[in-house]
Amino acid sequence: METTEDKNQMTDSKLSQNDDIVNDTKDEDIEVYEDNNVCKIFESKYSNYPSIPPNFKKAINGINLSQMNLQTLLPNEWLDDSVLGAFISAVCTFSPEITLAFDVFFLESLISNGRISGGYEKWAEKTNIWEYKIWLIPVHLGAHWTLLIVVPHRQIFIYIDSLHIKIPNHILIQICNFMDSVRSHHLAIGRKQQQWSKWTIFQPKDNPRPDTVSEISENCGIHVCIWSYIICSGIYVPFDDNIMNNVRINICHFLKKFQSMTVKQQSQKYNSIINTSKSNVKDINFEEKLPFLGFDSTYELCATLRLIAD
């Protein structure tokens, strides 16, 4: 039976097995990643993980990463919350003032006790969330990650789930409550809230499903990273589980190299609570077809979303 100590030794070995490769390609790395923040997760440039020392510590836009966190990028590991949050926050810097990364615990806070944290309302006001064209909201459903994309100016939600399951109603209710609360405050007291009958939620079925018998896959978090990357970079390659290990390696290299920038969406902690009534989510239109004409797939839509989000 494998012990925790054995596993740690194994993963440390995997992460450090290619010290010579990393050193040998140092000049090439600088040439390709000249600003240290270029990310090409679909390339096959790297065949091994970078060397990650045991004392590795890094903060990416306020999210702390350690060697233990990055070890979850090894094959068949469940992705750590901090790695997922750091990656989405990092790729959002590709399109500043357009894409906004929400904290990985945002929704967990919203659905706790059915109340909305006043802290997130303050964060939303300070960040001026309505100035952003696209919101990327990670959704954690027990052992499964999905991605909720909000395009406020187009009045569209896009919910991407690798299991092709409809968004849970309680999550949609809490998101709408949050938006109503923040928007009514943003527009000043007395202004109308969102007219949800004008909103549509698009739930695609052409996104790849996990290649597992049990459906639930340890790669669900990687799927969320990939879709966030496609939206922020405009680059896509139709993918499936066969490229997951290569993507994991590329994400690990990217996070190790990434240099944090000054961004508005830093993590904030508050304690106050705001109660709101349930939004009329039943008025929202549910669609499986693409919400815009002229696109052949969800890949194309997401890669172009930055250009049509106004």
- pLDDT on residue 38: 60
- Does residue 302 contact residue 230 with C-beta atoms inside 8 Å? yes
Q: Which of 111-120, 158-167, 277-286 has the lowest mean pLDDT?
A: 111-120
Average pLDDT of the chain, as a whole number: 78
- pLDDT on residue 216: 67
| Predicted confidence band of residue 114 (pLDDT cuts 50, 70, 90) | low
State percent of the chain over pLDDT 70.
72
Pull the structure tokens for residue 31.
Answer: 């040439």
Higher pLDDT, 282 or 159: 159
Which range is most confident: 80-94, 116-130, 250-264? Answer: 80-94
- Does residue 223 contact residue 163 with C-beta atoms inside 8 Å? no
Residue with tokens 């194309």: 300
- pLDDT on residue 32: 37
Distances (CA, A) of 208 to 95, 149, 215, 294, 310: 25, 17, 12, 21, 28
Q: Is 136 helix (H, G, I), strand (E, B) or coil?
A: strand
- pLDDT on residue 263: 41
- pLDDT on residue 283: 80
Residues 275-287: what's their mean pLDDT? 70
- pLDDT on residue 217: 79
Beta strands in 33-163, from DSSP E residues, in sequence order: 57-60, 63-66, 99-101, 116-117, 134-141, 144-151, 156-160
Taking alpha carbons only, the member of 74, 107, 105 closest to residue 219 is: 74
Give pLDDT tens digits for 178-202: 888 776 655 544 445 678 899 999 9
Instruction: For Cα atoms 172, 231, 288, give the angle at the middle one, nearest 5 degrees.
Output: 50
With b meaning 16 or more CB within 10 Å and e meaning fewer, what string describes 46-61? bebbbbbeeebebebb
Interatomic CA distance for residues 299 and 238, integer angstroms: 7
Eight-state DSSP code of residue 116: E
Q: Which of 152-156, 161-165, 219-223, 281-285 has the lowest mean pLDDT?
A: 281-285
Higher pLDDT, 127 or 109: 127
Give pLDDT tens digits for 233-242: 999 888 988 8
- pLDDT on residue 62: 87
Higher pLDDT, 1 or 216: 216
Give pLDDT tens digits for 42-64: 888 888 999 999 999 999 988 99
pTM: predicted TM-score of the whole model, two decimal places: 0.81
- pLDDT on residue 282: 78
Q: Which amino acid is at 300?
A: E
Interatomic CA distance for residues 26 and 28, integer angstroms: 5
Distances (CA, A) of 303 to 105, 200, 221, 226: 26, 19, 19, 11
Pairing of strands 200-202, 156-160: parallel
pLDDT above 80 (res 111): no
Q: Which CATH class is domain 57-259+282-304?
A: alpha beta
